[in-house]
Amino acid sequence: MAIKDQVILITGGARGIGLETAKALAGKGAKLVLTDLDSPALEEAVAAIGADACEGVVADVTNLPAMEAAVATAVERFGRLDVVLANAGIASYGSVMAIDPAAFQRTLDINITGVFNTARAAIPELEKTKGYLLVVSSLAAFAAAPGLAAYNASKAGVEHLANALRLEVAHRGIAVGCAHMSWIDTPLVQDAKSDLPTFQELLSKLPPPLNKTTDVDSCVKAFVKGVDKRQRHVYCPGWVRGAGLNRNVINSAVGNIPILRLVPDLLPRMDAEVRALGRSTSARNVANDERKAAGEG
């Protein structure tokens, strides 16, 4: 599809991949609606893109009425909705025995239920335009890592949510894509590295190419191409495609050996860092939770 004049809604659009993808799409003539819980960051994002081509909506993806209102805003402002990028997501830290149960649940709520709410709200409008929904999953959907069980589970779940959606809406003219990325140099990964020295250590000791971090610009290019071509799958970097095809090998007894060697020493230290930190997610996510509790979005 031609991106020029397409109306595109991006959740989690105030920073990171969401914001940079929005800028790239705006540069190709798209009209953007960005949602986020971080109102100040959202205002900055809209200003950076230009208010004539961008609308910001403070909304919590775990709140279905809020997402319905965001879709309504897109239609009221720009007349229709052509593309949705279900990008909002968080990570949480710690083994199953160390993670704060509330943080585990919040990760599932945002990363899975948030995509459900986004799709549920958007599908009626996407049907009118024979539009495209791109759901953001991750390499983590098929390559598990110790201390990241909530994130792994959520991204595996959202991958199959996208697969089911694709089957449900194809006859309505809506295309559904699913994006899988490795470690991207986003605030999510940066926060984890800052909070937990063992996270950086884990990355460095993973077998290549799993130990590499990719720049945001490469991911943005992949997302823009995915939107332009209505791709069924988006991978960044390209080798992630091969990892997906070989997921059974990655999760086999032999494939687990490199990580199993790390766990006895590394995981107890990671859990100790999480307990010392006093939270199982980034300070940024804690602030967003406080905004939610205050009734924003």
Q: How many residues can be counted in the chain?
A: 297
| 82 confidence band (pLDDT: 50, 70, 90) | very high
Q: So what's the pLDDT on residue 291?
A: 86
User: Looking at the predicted structure, is the pLDDT value of residue 207 above 90?
Assistant: no
SS3 label, residue 176: strand
DSSP 255-274: TTHHHHTTHHHHHHHHHHHH
| 2 confidence band (pLDDT: 50, 70, 90) | confident
User: Looking at the predicted structure, is the pLDDT value of residue 21 above 80?
Assistant: yes
Residue 21 φ then ψ, to 5°:
-65, -40
Share of residues in the chain with pLDDT > 90 (%): 94
Could you confirm whether 93 is annotated as catalytic?
Answer: no
Q: So what's the pLDDT on residue 44?
A: 98
Q: Which residues contact 216 (CB under 8 A, 6 or more apart)?
A: 16, 17, 20, 184, 185, 186
User: Looking at the predicted structure, is the pLDDT value of residue 247 above 80?
Assistant: yes
pTM for the full predicted model: 0.96
Q: So what's the pLDDT on residue 1?
A: 66
User: Looking at the predicted structure, is the pLDDT value of residue 277 above 70?
Assistant: yes
| 296 confidence band (pLDDT: 50, 70, 90) | confident
List the catalytic residue out of 93, 132, 151, 235.
151
Q: Which residues contact 237 (CB under 8 A, 6 or more apart)?
A: 182, 209, 212, 214, 218
Q: Which whole number is the average pLDDT over 138-143?
A: 97
SS3 label, residue 257: helix
User: Looking at the predicted structure, is the pLDDT value of residue 297 above 80?
Assistant: no
Vertex 151: Cα angle to 210 and 265 (nearest 5)? 60
Q: So what's the pLDDT on residue 294?
A: 85
| 259 confidence band (pLDDT: 50, 70, 90) | very high
SS3 label, residue 133: strand
**7-293: which CATH topology?**
Rossmann fold (3.40.50)
Vertex 25: Cα angle to 56 and 291 (nearest 5)? 25
Separation CA 277–CA 272 (nearest Å):
8
Separation CA 132–CA 213 (nearest Å):
28
**What ranges do the domains of the chain cover?**
7-293
| 150 confidence band (pLDDT: 50, 70, 90) | very high
Separation CA 127–CA 152 (nearest Å):
31
